[in-house]
Structure 1
Amino acid sequence: MSVASPFSIAIVGITVLAFLGLPIGHAMIAGSILYLLLAGLDPGIVAEQLLNSMYTGYVMLAVPLFIFAAELMNIGSMTERLLLFCNAFVGRFRGGLAQVNIVQSIIFAGMSGSAVADAAGTGKMMQVMMTRDGRYTPSYAAALTAATAVIGPIIPPSIPMVLYALVSDASIGYLFLGGVVPGVLMGVAMMILVVYTARRRNFPVETPVPVRELPGITIRAFPSLMMPVVLLGGIYGGVMTPTEAAAAAAAYAFLISVLLYRSVTARQLYASLLASARSSASIGMLIGGALVFNYVVTVENIPNALAAYLAGMNMTAVQFLILVNVILLILGCVLEGTAILLIIVPVLVPTAEALGVDMVHFGVMVVVNIMLGLVTPPYGLLLFIMTNISGASLRAIVRDILPFLVALLVALALITFVPEIVLWLPRQFGYQG
């Protein structure tokens, strides 16, 4: 490829604009239009082709709906009731509040589909609970909350999995199912680490919740606990598509928070709508830029060229998966996860298919990699969020999160090399991959 080729010039343009502070979505659109003009292609015809291909695709509608559902859960009392429920059952053990943090993330993961929503929604409450009376250091509480929030997009619903389905044509329903066991595995890995750390650092034992109070706490949390059941039951019962399930999740969160719990004011509801619109617009612009750039990449035949190059290296499927893990983990340190998912992954998908890698297994592995990028410095978005919430220094949080990162990497290795961890549950529901 010539240094002065339209594609090279477009890449340089995108890089320069991104470094100058232009949002990556806008930079990709500008660079891609520059490529089309230099290559003599009509931008109007390209836009028409992209729009025609999207008219029958409703996958992207799930993204703003899941975001809105997460916003409603954060402003209502659903999260507080879930925390009380988790504390009643696992808070009584040594390091109990740390275990509560992990369990609530596993449960909340079945509702929000977003790691950022998980950290922002329950992070502040967990930070206050864990640091009260000096039980845990602020940096340890923040590190644990950031690490557990990673589970959010692994257990369904999952916004990153929706985006992966957009670029790979994999089934969203089976992707959701494929994330259940890996998500629980990641939670268990961190719970085992907390048990070990609690004994070594002599973490406090919380006052047990009396048994007679358990039924009442469970009843109060029951409507919130039913949300994953409604969501997943609707999808796998054949009642609704994943996109319709996203609408059902938003409607259910609205009914529970506003009508049943009566914990949301009109002002809070308006603010949540605005926040959801801003987040959706931001992701939508990135998706738009990625779609145009992916068209450019396809015109340049880069995915097929990469697949042919790797085939010439006689690379096995396992070697390819190891290479993908390394690439994504490195990129996750410096790039935003959605950008990786929409720009880098489409280039890797044809090679994965050519090597016989299952697309559901590949998708879950990719999403786990991208989520780990949220807790790896220097970019780690969740680290910045928890630094702001906790007041602890970034250096202290990074120090305390390293053991959890090791536990998550062990879980990633198992997910990579033992595909049945991902595929067992989808196959119980008829998946033939």
Structure 2
Amino acid sequence: MIDPLAACLILLAFLAFGGLSMGPAIIAASTAYLLLKGLDPSIAAESILQGLFNGYTLLAIPLFILAADIMNAGSLADRLLAFCRALVGRLKGGLGHVNVVASLIFSGMSGSAIADAVGMGKIIINMMTKDGKYSASYAAAITAASATIGPIIPPSIPMVLYALVSDQSVGFLFAAGIVPGLLMAAMLMLMNMVMAHRRKFPTDDKIPLRDFPRITFEATPALLLPVILLGGIYGGVMTPTEAASVAAFYALFISVAFYRSVSARQFYSTLVAAARSTATVGILIAGALALKYVITRENLPDIVAAFIGQYDLSVVGFLIVLNLVFLVLGCLIDAGAILLIIVPIFIPTAQALGIDLVHLGVIVVVNAMIGLITPPYGLLLFIVSSISGAPLMQIIRDLLPFLCALLVALGIITFCPDVVLWLPRLLGYQG
């Protein structure tokens, strides 16, 4: 008779690579395990749900999704791009820098790489390709690369998912992402500057200084959102979940009352889109929790820890292996599945080696985001290809320098933990 765990994994691979979404595939595979093992699925479901009844962390996810969708429906993206263009557009390869800085700012509102690419992508790609200043493939490549910053700078939906499986503070995880996110943006801007000189990209038209106060004023309500969120969380005024509800309300308020860019019909469409996105994430989380139950029953984390332990890896060696594993997995499977299913297997080994779990969280989220721009999965690649109309292979070719820049940033984040932990410690983290 086939081993239930082997049957579960084989069925999961068959369904996932056969085209079924990860959430339903995981649920089907986990259910098959329970039946082959002779376990009652209802008892397993009760056991899985017991740990969620008193936790409100997951409520942050639909609220952040709603906030991002409202901002995409309104004119916030236009105002932010105008501000970024006035700020850095005058530099060599200016619109490339605008792309990165806009993603950096927008990431402080959406918490999602997909929302960043969709919300900013079409506008900035059209700006860059207008009059043939930049090729469509280059504009798409830097848009995809800069969108990876979205879930690193708080708020961050992947950080919330990591907090669920690691039992770490969402607030400290958010704080830990700020400096790495800025580092990633700096590396992308540096690479854009190199490419601008190499390919002789033009300097953007300079916006008169007299227009800067007006542009800044128009963008100020949108720029205040990250300040309100982070100030509220680290000032002890609100929890991350409460901050997510504030973000959704504030995004709606400024879109309706200040910018007057969201009608009742648009708001209804936004609610429907947010509900669909939430359902997709919810099914994935449900499947991941079921598979986590399987993994726990089979004692896989301890088995992996024992296997790695026999090679007597140092902390550096373990982190190298970890990065390689997650970079490869990121090419093949969804980022949410990596965080919810694969990460818990490595957590006991990381703890045994003395690796800080907040530091580990930033490492795995950065890896998962890089996976979004690496083929064959590379969801962001397909999104920007659809938006720009550029062939996928041309986008990948232009993306390679930015991918190298992000890998350098990943190396610094991995092997210089103080870069990640400096700000959380400043805010009271004891790790």
State the AA in 2 paired with 1:127. I
Which whole-Å deviations, capped at 9, do the CAs of 1:381-407 have from their partners, x for residues lacking one? 111001100011001100000000000
Q: CA separation in 1, counterparts of 2:17 and 2:100?
A: 37
Report the equivalent of 2:177: 179
Following superposition, the deviation at residue 16 of structure 1 comes to: 2.2
Which whole-Å deviations, capped at 9, do the CAs of 1:250-304 have from their partners, x for residues lacking one? 1110111112211011111111111111111001001000101100110001101
Q: CA separation in 2, counterparts of 1:52 and 1:428?
A: 34
Q: CA separation in 2, counterparts of 1:20 and 1:78?
A: 39
Choose which of 281, 284, 290 in structure 1 pairs with 2:282: 284
Report the equivalent of 2:34: 36
1:255 aligns with 2:253: yes
Q: CA separation in 1, counterparts of 2:158 and 2:251?
A: 20
Following superposition, the deviation at residue 15 of structure 1 comes to: 2.1
1:226 aligns with 2:224: yes
Following superposition, the deviation at residue 10 of structure 1 comes to: 1.7
1:274 aligns with 2:272: yes
Q: CA separation in 2, counterparts of 1:17 and 1:330?
A: 20
State the AA in 1 paired with 2:186. V
Report SS of the residue matched to 1:229. helix
Report SS of the residue matched to 1:263. coil
Which whole-Å deviations, capped at 9, do the CAs of 1:187-217 have from their partners, x for residues lacking one? 0011111111111211111221111111111
State the AA in 2 paired with 1:58. Y
Following superposition, the deviation at residue 28 of structure 1 comes to: 1.5
Report the equivalent of 1:11: 9
Choose which of 386, 389, 398 in structure 2 pairs with 1:388: 386
Report the equivalent of 2:186: 188
Q: CA separation in 2, counterparts of 1:251 and 1:41?
A: 44
Report the equivalent of 1:197: 195
Q: CA separation in 2, counterparts of 1:132 and 1:15?
A: 43
Which whole-Å deviations, capped at 9, do the CAs of 1:309-331 have from their partners, x for residues lacking one? 21222111111111010001011
Report the equivalent of 2:318: 320
Contact 2:61 2:157 in 1 (8 A): yes
Which whole-Å deviations, capped at 9, do the CAs of 1:82-128 have from their partners, x for residues lacking one? 10001111111221111111111111111100000000001000011
Contact 2:22 2:334 in 1 (8 A): no
Q: CA separation in 1, counterparts of 2:306 and 2:136?
A: 50
Report the equivalent of 1:400: 398
Report the equivalent of 1:117: 115
Report the equivalent of 2:135: 137
Choose which of 349, 369, 372 in structure 1 pairs with 2:370: 372
Report the equivalent of 1:47: 45
Report the equivalent of 1:105: 103
State the AA in 1 paired with 2:85. N
Choose which of 337, 356, 359 in structure 1 pairs with 2:357: 359
Report SS of the residue matched to 2:172. helix
Q: How does 1:51-130 map to 2 (within 5 A)?
A: 51-130=49-128
Which whole-Å deviations, capped at 9, do the CAs of 1:311-370 have from their partners, x for residues lacking one? 222111111111010001011111111111111111111111111110010000000000
Following superposition, the deviation at residue 6 of structure 1 comes to: 1.4
Following superposition, the deviation at residue 21 of structure 1 comes to: 2.8
Q: CA separation in 2, counterparts of 1:388 and 1:99?
A: 22
Choose which of 161, 171, 174 in structure 1 pairs with 2:159: 161
Q: CA separation in 1, counterparts of 2:92 and 2:35?
A: 64
Report SS of the residue matched to 2:324. helix
What's the % identity of the aligned pairs? 59
Q: CA separation in 2, counterparts of 1:27 and 1:200?
A: 46
Q: Deviation above 3 Å: which 4+ runs of structure 1?
A: none
Q: CA separation in 2, counterparts of 1:180 and 1:18?
A: 34
Report the equivalent of 1:310: 308
Unaligned 5+ residue runs, structure 2?
none
Q: CA separation in 1, counterparts of 2:205 and 2:314?
A: 54
Q: CA separation in 2, counterparts of 1:34 and 1:69?
A: 37
Q: CA separation in 1, counterparts of 2:67 and 2:207?
A: 30
Unaligned 5+ residue runs, structure 1?
none
State the AA in 2 paired with 1:88. A
Deviating more after overlay: 409-418 vs 16-25: 16-25
Q: How does 1:324-343 map to 2 (within 5 A)?
A: 324-343=322-341
Which whole-Å deviations, capped at 9, do the CAs of 1:118-141 have from their partners, x for residues lacking one? 000010000111011111011100
Q: CA separation in 2, counterparts of 1:171 and 1:104?
A: 28
State the AA in 2 paired with 1:420. D
Choose which of 216, 237, 240 in structure 2 pairs with 1:242: 240
Report SS of the residue matched to 1:379. coil
State the AA in 1 paired with 2:35. L
Report SS of the residue matched to 1:182. helix
State the AA in 1 paired with 2:60. A
Aligned length: 431
Root mean square deviation of aligned Cα: 1.0
Report SS of the residue matched to 2:152. coil
TM-score (norm 2): 0.98
Q: CA separation in 2, counterparts of 1:75 and 1:248?
A: 18
Choose which of 291, 294, 297 in structure 1 pairs with 2:292: 294
